[in-house]
Amino acid sequence: MTNISHRNYLIGLGVLFSIEWLIMAIKPWHFKDWLLENVLVVAAVIFIITTFKRFPLSRISYTLIFIFLCLHAVGAHYTYAEVPYNEWSKALFGSSINEMMGWERNHFDRLVHFSYGLLLAYPIREVFIRVVNVKGFWGYFLPLDLTMSTSMLYELVEWGVAVIFGGDLGMAYLGTQGDIWDAHKDMGLASCGALIAMFTTAAINSVLQRDFAQEWAESLSVKHKDPLGEDEIVRMLEDD
């Protein structure tokens, strides 16, 4: 019954995302950039579908992934540097967000990089706990660490794509908007988002999990007192 419930929930999210994706696929502002932006989306959707039977995630994780993919679909349609959120806010509130905040650049890409950490750190934590069986401190640090490292890896991918394709397509995909520190800020925001997600998760668990402090302390205790490195090589050779 639980699997059916998860299945129906995932199907519901899939239908909603498909509707949004199809709408965003209609006349994207820069078609070639839209294609590039959707390569990872297609890979992620295929991965989620093919792993569902063997490894279904929680509804919370699926919801967080869904929200992130929805944000990305909007960015891909307009290109991140040209998402017209200022026009939307003017239509709704009479003034643009940039005017209210004193911003000069388009910050939609900053929002999505921050959301990458905020929304995906928890699903990553769920995978670590259920596959690697991490506990305590490591159940919060490793998702943060992986979020930060994959954020860095994505910036390298962006750089590589910009170099390979060059021209307007490369710059549209890179989306620096003239900021030489763009990659650093993107990685910093993703890290902040993941940090907030893990601190929030830890705060909730500290209240609900009775052995929270004990598990945390145990996770930081030394499990193997003998040194590794050359000492371990000697031990392995002696065992042979």
* Nearest Cα residue to 126 out of 48, 46, 189: 48
Q: Is residue 234 part of a domain?
A: no
* Residue 134, token pair as written in the block: 């991490």
* Nearest Cα residue to 193 out of 100, 67, 96: 67
pLDDT digits (tens), the chain, 240 positions = 455 688 899 999 999 999 999 999 999 998 988 998 899 899 999 999 999 999 999 999 999 999 999 999 999 999 888 899 889 998 988 888 988 888 888 889 899 999 999 999 999 999 999 999 999 999 999 999 999 999 998 888 877 777 777 666 656 555 556 667 778 888 999 999 999 999 999 999 999 999 999 999 999 999 888 888 888 888 888 886
Measuring CA to CA, how many Å separate 22 from each of 11, 49, 65, 81, 154?
A: 16, 18, 18, 21, 25
Count the domains in the chain. Answer: 1
Instruction: Give the model's pLDDT for residue 1.
Output: 43
- Pick left, alpha or beta for residue 112 (phi over 0 → left; psi -120 to 50 → alpha; otherwise beta): alpha
The boundaries of the domain holding residue 186 are 2-211
Residue labelled with tokens 């929304």: 119
E strand or H helix that includes residue 235: helix 230-239
* Nearest Cα residue to 138 out of 204, 222, 216: 216
Q: State if pTM tops 0.85.
A: yes
Q: Is residue 236 part of a domain?
A: no
* Nearest Cα residue to 37 out of 169, 202, 178: 169
The whole-angstrom separation of Cα 185 and Cα 103 is: 15
Q: Is residue 233 part of a domain?
A: no
